[in-house]
Each structure stands twice: as C-alpha cells, then as structure tokens.
Structure 1
C-alpha cells in the first residue's frame, strides 16, 4: 500500500483513505494477536543454513502470486464494490501468466470466487483485514539450492493507524499454508517499504522505517542491521522520504524500483511539480545516481516520467498515479494507466524496453488508486525455490 500523491490537499495529514474509527487494536486484542503470532512462529521449523537465504529480485520465476480480498465497509465505505472489481481484474490478469492465490474471509469467499473466476484460487482459511498483501504477506527467500523460507515484517497497521488483528498474522499463516519455515524480522515494517535487487542491495525511506510509530527506541544502525538480516543483504541505500503525509509514511515502491543488480528506476514528476513528493522523487534520483551497490558497482538509473495529475481520469486528491508501482510476474509486467494518454503510452513503451520478452499489461484500477494504492501494493510473489 503506497501513497505518492501530487495534488494533495494543503492541509496534509493522513490521506489515502479513512481509517477505522477504532484505529489499531484494543489492548486485549493486541495481546491476543502478539501471543498467537509468537506461538505460530515458534511452532514452525527454524530456517536451515542461517544466513544463506536471500530475498530474490522480483523478476525471478514465481510459483504463484498471493493477494487478499477486501470486504470491509468500515475501511472502504461505498467504494468497496469498485475496489473489489479492481482487485479481481488484477488477479484475473496475473492468472493468465502464473497461479494466483487470493486470501478471503470465509463470509466473502463466495463473492471473491464469483468475481475472480475459476483461474484464481481463493483461500478462505487465512483471514484478512484488507487487500494490501505487499505489506502484510510474507517475504519469501531462497537459498539457491532448492530451499525456500519466509520472513514476517511484523505488520502493525502502518504505525497503528488501522486495525490489523488479522493482517498481522497473514505472513505466518501463508508460510504455514505453503509449508515453509517462518521467522519474524527484528523490526516492524512492510514489504512496500523495502526494495531488493537480489544481490545484496536494498533501498528504503527513513520516513517509513526509522519512525517511532514502527520502531521506537531503535537507531538507524539497528533497523538497518535487522533489514539486512531479514533480506540476506549487505547494504541499504536510504532516502529521506516524506513523514506523516500518507498512511505509509512514503513507501519506496511507489517511486523507486530495482530493475537488476546495479540498475534502478525512478518515476519522475513534471518539471512544474514542486510539492513534497516531487521533491522526494528528485532527491531519490540524485541519491541513486550517486550510489553504489553492495558489490561496489555504480548504480545506473532510468527515469520513468509520471503523468500530469490535472489530466488523469481521477480527481480524488488521494489518488496514486504511479507507473512505478507495477508488478513483475512470469512473462509479464502488470502496470496501470491513468487517462493521461501520452505518458500512459510512454510508460508502457518504457516498461517493454526495460523488461524485454515480457508482455506489458496496463489496467484501469482507478478505484484502488483512489484508495492510495497500486498493483504492486496488492501483490506478493512466491519465488520458485
């Protein structure tokens, strides 16, 4: 779940969507969640060959894609039906290229099956609060020798901004469903907050992870060490990010992505854009252009031009118009278009050039985008071991 809004209201504050009235959990519910999470993690076998596992880059071969089905009117209100339509469109599109497993609450599983069709496998035994599988799902790792395990990032509702009793347990429950070892990372964060190149280099924003709403009383060095251990990496490229302007505190995957080890992409704003997110994007480009990888190679950085927010279809001030929030699956790149015709076409051409041999599918997911998220936000890959 990622927010990178250009025409945000001057008052700032929490955009993206309304939070549940009782944001976070009650103390009792929090205690139950923590206890169950620790018990589930302890009941699973420990990963073998500690330190040998690494999160691969997204374009490796996948076994399947994991998604989640939203069914909460407390979160989505009268927008729920449209968001469900967008989720089903994304799921059906990815299912043309690889299996899709979609977690749905038992009471809404039938509707999910009806809207997604037979090409999508609906799993009704893993309850969810919302649809942001990138942030709630497990981060899968491989060891290069046929081993697969999973790490949980201890999802806490983006800093206790939304109720998350079910979503906090999704990562461990999916790992159990798959039958792989599961451990909890020594930090609180979300999958959308961290990008990996699969060869030892990560990138992330300080605003999201070095934040008292996730990791109080932890230094940047401590958080970085936890990230490196969780991802099997050795270097983090940090961006300052944007604090407090959206629910994620500026996730990196709406702006900057790894294309390959030593190569990255940044979605750039229009020259006339000068809000905090435009400044953040330009700074990310500058930082990456001067950075080196874990192996010491200089980063090569491609630019992906963003759309004009005054020319896109949506007029919602919380809209996420991020081409960079695409998802790479087997044989395809799944991205979005926003109604600004020229940059929409240019983004499709650019992605086809950057991912040769893959079909680029552009989808209208405006209802999901009005909730502040994109295609990468609602997907989580399970790589082939």
Structure 2
C-alpha cells in the first residue's frame, strides 16, 4: 500500500483526556440527508447539535464548521462564544471527516487526513473528503495524508501506544480492499506512534444496520490507560447481544502496549430510548466525549441516563458529567463522540 504520509518518527496521537485547545464540530445543514428516512427534521437535529456545542463551550473553545448556506441557523442556536468557520461540507460527522491531531516533541502540532470515503461510499463525500486538510489549513498546521480509508470513530488511543479498532471497518472491502492488518498497523505506528493495535470483531455480519460498519466508539472507550468503558445490553435476545459479547471477549483476551490486561466497566445501552421504527438509532452511552474538566454524555430523557451518569462519574473522578439530550441526532446513527473532534493543546499536558 503506497503511502505519502509522515516520513519522520516521533509523532503521536494524544489520548482524548489531555488538555484541549478546542473541540471541532460540523453544523448539520443537509435537509435531504437527515429527512430522507430518519424520522427527524433538520431543525430538530440542529437543536441537538447546538446543545452539544453549547455544553462543550462551558469548558473549552468550540470551532464549528458551517456550510455557507447554514450560517444563520448556526448563529441562532449556538452561543456567541462558539467560533463559526465557513467551509463547504456534505455532512456533519466531524469525528470521521475531520483531522486526527498528532503531536511531536520538537515540531508541535499537526494532523492526519485519512482517506474519507463516507463509510464505504454510503453517501456523497466530494466535499467532506477534503475537510481535514482544509481545517488544518485554517489552523496553519501541517497535514499528513495517507491512502488508508479510515475514520476517527474507527480508532481509540490511550496515549501510551495502544490503539483499538475493529476488523469490520478497516478490513472491509468498502474501505481497504486487499490491505492486510500488518499494513494497517504499520500506518498507525508511523502516523500515530502506535506500538500495539488491538483488533475487535466490530459488527462483522452488519446485524445492527450501523452505517459505519461497526465503529469502535460505539463499542468501548478509554477512561484511562488500562481501563475501558464497554458497551453492553440488557436485551440478551437482541441481534446486538452477540455482537457485544464477541467484542467484550476480544477485550478480555487482549493486553495493551504496556502488557496490562484491561479493566472493563460495563456501560449499558439506552435500550428504552430506541425508536424501533427508525432505520438506525445510536443508543450507546460509550459514545461520550471527554472535554476539559468534563464528560459530555449522550442522554435520552430516560431512567437509564442517571445510571450511565453514575458509572461515568465513578470512571472519571474530578470531571463533571454533563448529560445532553440527543434523541434526534441518534436517528442518524451517531452520538456525542461522533460529532466532535478534539484539538490538543500544545505543549501536550494533562
């Protein structure tokens, strides 16, 4: 697999919990996309996005990419302390189309632009495929390209050399046909400073209908090195139950880059919130986002929200857990983590 990325060593992707300079998001504007079969209206989705952006803005700066056609709605719903950056876009999943930021002890901050093909060509991406590069240009940062088709939601790192991903995404023929695990691991080592890649099955039979084909940020999330919040379901008869069990089994057998076995903390899905008539619905509480001093948690207005908040509060002592209602956003198949992308502060700290 021919690459045109970083040629030198020393670049690493920090963990999500290091201090951020900002959070990046993209404002939803594509009415046809959101209202074509997801049982929501664009204004409803925009209200959810605004709630997330305004919640994060309490703790750190938010840089909101806005298609020129949608500036008015963003200004109306987002607080004055949120920076609006006008760039043409197709969609609104910044975790996937935005840059993955990397740091170097001497050279500072830069970013990786993965080859974004809209989760295997599932929607238009002629604008979003260049969003990472344009965002980095806006910041005046170097952009490292790669031929690897990947999305930010497909990887989690612990900042100590461990990366977790899923086979159902990165080995999918709709992303990287013919590419081997070894080739992908070499790219992660070179671009992100990864020492060990852990492969989970993901959603190999696509039983959930998840448009991403099984992103890891719907499966688990680091609380700190060696400790993972793991998605679980009370509905053991559901099609997802076996998917969750297989992913957990893989984590139980794994060790991280430092040789540690993982401590696994179950975080049960918001099953009661699921719209059973919806094409997709993200009910995963593991799709939270770590901001400066806070954990922004997906919430649905159900009793399970309180339970999830208590689990997260125990996992993140010293951080405020902030539940944010995302019932309409969830109809697009994503949650809080899917629409956010952290920009680490430089020098890296925290």
TM-score normalised by length of structure 2: 0.91
- Given candidates 334, 344, 361, the residue that maps to 2:296 is 334
User: What SS does the aligned partner of 1:212 have?
Assistant: coil
- How far residue 314 of structure 1 moved from its aligned partner, in angstroms, is 3.8
Gaps of 5+ in 1: 1-41
Is 1:168 aligned to 2:129, yes or no? yes
What is the distance in 1 between the residues matched to 2:317 and 2:29? 37
What is the distance in 2 between the residues matched to 1:258 and 1:364? 22
What is the distance in 1 between the residues matched to 2:229 and 2:277? 26
Q: Which residue of 2 aligns with 1:20?
A: none
Q: 1:236-255, aligned counterparts within 5 Å?
A: 236-243=197-204, 244=206, 245-255=209-219
- Given candidates 302, 310, 334, the residue that maps to 2:265 is 302
What is the distance in 2 between the residues matched to 1:111 and 1:92? 14
- Given candidates 78, 88, 91, the residue that maps to 1:127 is 88
- How far residue 344 of structure 1 moved from its aligned partner, in angstroms, is 1.4
Is 1:198 aligned to 2:159, yes or no? yes
* Aligned structure 1 segments of 4 or more residues deviating by more than 4 angstroms: none
Q: Do the aligned residues in 2 keep the contact of 1:159 with 1:213 (CA within 8 Å)? A: yes
Is 1:96 aligned to 2:54, yes or no? no
Is 1:66 aligned to 2:28, yes or no? no
What is the distance in 1 between the residues matched to 2:273 and 2:238? 18
1:274/1:313 CA distance change after superposition, 3 Å = closer
Q: 1:324-363, aligned counterparts within 5 Å?
A: 324-341=286-303, 343-363=304-324
Q: Which residue of 2 aligns with 1:212?
A: 173
Gaps of 5+ in 2: none
What is the distance in 1 between the residues matched to 2:239 and 2:156? 21
Q: Do the aligned residues in 1 keep the contact of 2:274 with 2:281 (CA within 8 Å)? A: no
Is 1:177 aligned to 2:138, yes or no? yes
What is the distance in 2 between the residues matched to 1:265 and 1:291? 15
Q: Do the aligned residues in 2 keep the contact of 1:205 with 1:252 (CA within 8 Å)? A: yes
- Name the count of aligned residue pairs: 336
- How far residue 50 of structure 1 moved from its aligned partner, in angstroms, is 1.9
- Given candidates 102, 106, 111, the residue that maps to 1:150 is 111
List per-residue Cα deviations over 1:146-196 (Å, max 9, x = no partner): 711100111101101100011101100111111111111341010001111
TM-score normalised by length of structure 1: 0.83
List per-residue Cα deviations over 1:223-279 (Å, max 9, x = no partner): 222233222101111111214432110101012111222221202111x42334221
What is the distance in 1 between the residues matched to 2:339 and 2:48? 10
Q: Which residue of 2 aligns with 1:289?
A: 252
What is the distance in 1 between the residues matched to 2:311 and 2:32? 38
Q: Do the aligned residues in 2 keep the contact of 1:56 with 1:141 (CA within 8 Å)? A: yes
| Higher strand fraction (1 or 2) | 2
